A and B are shown apart, each in its own frame.
Chain A
Amino acid sequence: METQAIDHAALLPLYLAAATAAAALFAGRFAKAAAMAGLAASGSAAVWLAFGPTRETFAVGEWHSFAADDASMGLAALFAGITVLVAAISGSRESEYFFLLAISASGGIALASSRDLITLIVALETLTVPLYLLVAKPGRAGAEAGVTFLIASITASSTALMGAALLYAAGGSVHFAALSEDLDGADTRLVAAGTALLLGGLAFKLAAAPLHSWAPLVLERAPLPIATYLASASKLGGAVAVVWVVHFALAPSAGTVAGIVLAGIAVASIAVGNVGALVQRRTVGVLAWSGIAHAGYVLAPLGALSAATGRDGEAAAASAALAYAVFFVLMEAGAFASLTSMREHDGGAIADLGGLFRAAPRASTVFVIAVIGLAGLPPALAGTFAKIAVLEWLASSAVWLAVVVVAGAVVGLAYYLPLARTVLVSRGGEGAKDRYGLAVLAIGAALVAVSLAPQAVLEFTSFSQ
C-alpha cells in the first residue's frame, strides 16, 4: 500500500488546536492562558494559510478529504477566535474545562476543512462531545441540561449517520466531490431519504426545527460562557456542515431534494423560533428561541435551491447561507459574551436588564449593538448586511421564501426591541457587573469592523464557480 504525502502545512491550525488542548490539560493554573494563546496561534495560522494558495491533502484518487481554502481557513480562524473569546469570559476554571474547550475548537477547525462525509461527521462529533460535560452545571437543573443535550445529540448523530449511509449506498462514495457526480443516476428514493436524514441530523447542531427544542432548555441551564459557545461556535459548526454537504455534495445532482428539505426546515425554524421567542420572559430564552429562527434564515438560501438551478445559483446560495451564518455567529457571540460580562450566574429575566446602560456602559453597548444587529437594523450594520446577503439571493430565486424571512424578521423586531429598550431606558441595574472588559471590547470591535467592512466577511464566504 502506498503511503500518501500529507501536506502538514494545511493541517497546521488543527495541529496547533490539538496541541493547545494537550497543553491546557497540563498547564494547571495557566490553563486559561495556554488555551487562549494556543488557539490564537491556531487562528493566526489559519489566517496565514488563507492568504496563501489553496492546499488540499488526504487524497483518494482525485478527491481530497481535507482542504485548506479561503473559506475553510477563514472559518477555522473564526472557530479559534470565538473559542478564545469564550475562554476569556469563563473566569477561573479547572484545566479540564479549557482542555475540553480546545478539543471542541479543534473539532470545529477540522470541520471547516473536511471534504468527505466521514471526516465531517467525526469532526462534528469532536466539536460536540466535549460539550456534554461542559453544559452540565452542578445540581439537578444542570444535570438535566447535560442529559438532554447528550440524548438529543446522539439521536441527531445517528440520524445523520443513517443519512450518510443511505447516500453512500446510493452514490458509492463518501467524498463530496464524488457524490456530487455519482448521485446523478442513483435511486432517487434512496437519495431523498439519505438527504433528508443527513440534513435533518446536521440541523440539530444549528438548532433548526424539528431538532430545535433542546436549545432553549440547554442554553438556559448551561453556564453562560458555555451558552455563548453553544450559541455561536457550535452553531457555526452546524451551519458549516450543512453548507458543505449541500454545496459540495448534494447541490449538483440532488439539489432539488436538498432544497425542499432545507426549505421545509427553514420555514419551520423561522416560524417556531420567532413565535416561541415572542413570549419568553428570560433573556437567554429570547436569544435561544430567536437563534432557532436565525438557523432558519441561514438555511433559507439553501432552501431556494429547490427552485433555482445552475452552478451560479448553487454557489450564490451557499455563499449567502455562509455569510449569514458568520454575521449571525459574531452577533450571537457578542450578545452572549456581553451578557456574561454583566450577569453573574445566569441571564436572568428581561426586566433584570433594566438600567444596565448606566451601570455597565461598555458591555451593555455591545449587547445593544448585538441585539439590534440580530434584529437586522442599522446602525448595527452587521445584521443589516446579513439580511441583505440572504434577501438578495432569495429575491432572485424564491420570492416566497424571502417573504417568509421578512415575516420572521418582523416578528423578531417585536422581541428584540424590548431587549434593547430595557437596557437603554428602564431603571434598575443595581449590582450589575462590567467584567472581562477586553474580551467584550474585542467582540464589540469585531462587530464594528464587519459593519464597516462587510466585504471582509463576504469575500471569504463566497464560493465562486
Chain B
Amino acid sequence: MGVVLIAAVALPFLGAVLAWRYRWHDIGVLSSVLAFGAVAALPFGRGDLWWHEVHFAWAPGIHLDFALAVDGVSWPLAMLTALLGVLCCVHNARSGEPTLTALLLAVQGASTAVFLSENLVLFFIAFEAVLLPMWAVVYRYGDERTRRRAAAKFALFTIAGSLLMATGLFAAIADAGTADLGDIIAAGGVSERLSLTVFVLLALGFAVKAPLWPLHSWLPDAHTAAPTVGSVLLAGVLLKLGTYGLIRVAGGIAPDGAAEAAPVLAVLGAIGIVVASLVCLGQAEIKRLIAYSSVGHMGFVVLAFATGTEAGIRAALFANLAHGLITPLLFFLAGALKDRTRTGQLAELGGLRLAAPALAGVLGFASLASLGLPGLAGFWGEAFTVYAAADRGGPWLGLAVAAALGAFLTAAYLLRMLKYVSHGQPTPAVVGIKGASTAELAIWSPLVAATLLLGLVPGPLLDLFATGVL
C-alpha cells in the first residue's frame, strides 16, 4: 500500500504538470479523481497505529527523509483534501483556465503531503510548498480590485508563520535527535525544558494558518479576493493545515508546552469566536462574511484543542473537518451567486428564494449547517467544545459561555445574511438569474451529503480519531 500512499501525493503534482503543459482540463480532473481513489483506498489492509508507512532517506544531513504515513487523524483530512480537489477541478473545468486547474492540483498535492508526511522536515517543506500556488491563485485569478494586496498579505503572513513553525520544528528535532513524528510522539515529545519554547514557536506558525485571532487578518482579504475555487481550497484545506499542525504536531511533540500555553490559546480562541461573529454581524459583503465566519469556527477548534481533554481533542478534530465541508459549500454558493448577480453586497441582493429556489435552498442548508444546527456536521464539534471547556471547570466555564454565546451570534449573522439574500422580493440584481444547473448541483451534493451524514452519524469518524497517533 506504500505505492498508494505515494500516489496520493504524487498524482496531483503529476496532473498539475500535465494540465499546465498540455493546457487540458480533463487531465487535471482525471488526476484529481485518481488521487481521490488512492486516498479512499488507504483504509484497506491497514495496520494498527500507522495504517501504512513509506520511508526513503533523502538528505540525512538535515534530517530529511521522504517518509509518508497515514492514520486515523490524517486520513479524514486527506480525504477532505482529495474531495475538494476533485470538486474544484470539476468546477474549474467548466469555466476557468487550465493553469488554474494546475495550481489547484499543486495546492492539493502539497496539502496532502502535509497531512501524510511523517518526517517533520518534509512536513515543513510541504507546508511551504502550498504557499506559491495558492498565492498565484489569488494573485492571478482573484478579484480585480483587491487581489494584489490580498495575495501579498497572504504570502507574507503565511511565510512568517511557516518559518516560525520551522524554527520550532527544528528545535524539536535537535532535541529529540530524530525528525520522525511518530517516534517523537511515542517518546512523549521533546524534553520539558524546551517544550514551551517549541510549542510557542509551532503554535505561532500554525495560529497564522488556522487562523487564530489576532493573527487572522490576512484571511478575510485573501478569501474575499480569491476566485471561488481558491476560497474553497483556502477554507477547506489551507486552514486545516494550521489546525492539523496545532493538534497533531504542536500538541504531539510538545505536550508539556501545550498544557502550559493552553490558557492563552483558549482565551484567544474564545475572543476569536466572539469578535469574528460580531464583525460578521456588521459585514456588508457575502464572501467577506463567510470568510470572517471561518475565524470564529476555527476559534472553536483551537478552544477545544486547548482544553487538552480527550473530548476536547476529538471535538477539535471533528469541528475542523466539519468546517472543511460546510464553509467550502458556502463559498461555492457565494461564488455561484456572485457569478450570476455580479455583486456580493448584501444590500443589493434579495428574493433569491423566488428567483432561484434550489440555490436558495442549498444556501439555507449550508447556513444552518454553519450555525451548528444539531443533526448536521457543524454541531458535534462546537457543542462538545462547550462540553470540553465546561469539563475543565473553574475559569474555563467562562470560555464555555463565550463559546455558547458565539454559537448564538453565529446564528444571528447567518440569519441576517439569509434575510438579505433569500427573503423578500427579488432585487434588480437578482431578477432573472439562472437557477442552479445540474452540474452545479452535482458539485454541491457531495458536500451536502457529507454534512448530513457526519451530522447524523458522527460515531465512525470520532472512533477513527480515537485510533490516531496523538
Contact = CB atoms under 8 A, between A and B. Distances in A.
Chains A, B in direct contact (C-beta < 8 Å): yes
Interface of A: 323, 372, 376-379, 381, 384-385, 387-389, 391-392, 394-396, 399, 402-403, 405-407, 409-410, 413-414, 417, 421, 425, 453-455, 458-459, 462
A425 B99 CA distance: 12
Interface of B: 58-64, 110, 121, 124-126, 128-129, 131-132, 135, 139-140, 152, 155-156, 159-160, 163-164, 166-171, 173-175, 197, 201
A388 B124 contact: yes
Contact of B197 (A387, A399, A413, A421): A399
Contact of B61 (A413, A417, A459): A459
A461 to B, nearest CB: 9
B81 to A, nearest CB: 17
Nearest to B13: A379
A395 B190 CA distance: 13
Contact of B63 (A323, A384, A392, A399): A392
Given A391-B166, A394-B167, A409-B163, A378 B61 contact: no
B171 A378 contact: no
Nearest to B135: A417
A381 B132 CA distance: 13
A409 B159 contact: yes
B160 A395 contact: no
Given A372-B132, A410-B160, A389 B171 contact: no
Given A378-B128, A392-B62, A392-B174, A410 B167 contact: no
Contacts of A379: 129, 132
Contacts of A407: 160
A414 B151 CA distance: 11
Contacts of A425: 139-140
A454 B210 CA distance: 31
Contact of B167 (A323, A399, A455, A458): A399
Contact of B64 (A388, A391, A403, A417): A388
B171 A395 contact: yes
Contacts of A323: 61
Contacts, number: 104
Contact of B175 (A377, A394, A396, A462): A396
Contacts of B160: 406-407, 410
A414 B132 contact: no
A413 B125 contact: no
Contact of A410 (B59, B159, B174): B159
A413 B156 contact: yes
Nearest to B164: A406
B128 A455 contact: no
A414 B59 contact: no
Nearest to A462: B61
Contacts of A394: 167, 170
A406 B167 contact: yes
Contacts of A462: 61
- 8 nearest A-B pairs in the assembled complex, by CB-CB distance: A396-B174, A458-B61, A395-B170, A378-B129, A395-B171, A406-B163, A392-B170, A402-B167
B125 A391 contact: no
B125 A384 contact: yes
Contact of B163 (A378, A381, A391, A454): A391
B132 A391 contact: no
Nearest to A396: B174
Contacts of B125: 378, 381, 384, 388
Contact of B171 (A387, A396, A410): A396
A450 to B, nearest CB: 10
B139 A421 contact: yes
Nearest to B197: A399
Given A377-B131, A396-B171, 12 more contacts: A377-B132, A377-B159, A378-B126, A381-B125, A385-B62, A388-B62, A388-B170, A392-B173, A395-B166, A395-B174, A414-B152, A425-B140
B58 A455 contact: yes
Nearest to A407: B160
Most buried by B among A385, A407, A414: A385
Contacts of A389: 61-62
A458 B163 contact: no
Contacts of A405: 163
A387 B64 CA distance: 13
B67 to A, nearest CB: 15
Contact of B155 (A381, A391, A402, A417): A417
B132 A378 contact: yes
A303 to B, nearest CB: 15
B128 A377 contact: yes
16 contacts: A323-B61, A377-B159, A379-B129, A388-B124, A389-B62, A394-B170, A395-B166, A395-B167, A399-B167, A402-B170, A403-B164, A410-B156, A421-B139, A425-B139, A455-B59, A458-B59
Most buried by B among A395, A402, A410: A395
Contacts of B129: 377-379
Most buried by A among B64, B163, B171: B163
Contacts of B62: 385, 388-389, 392, 454, 458
Nearest to A319: B61
B159 to A, nearest CB: 5
A430 B128 CA distance: 34
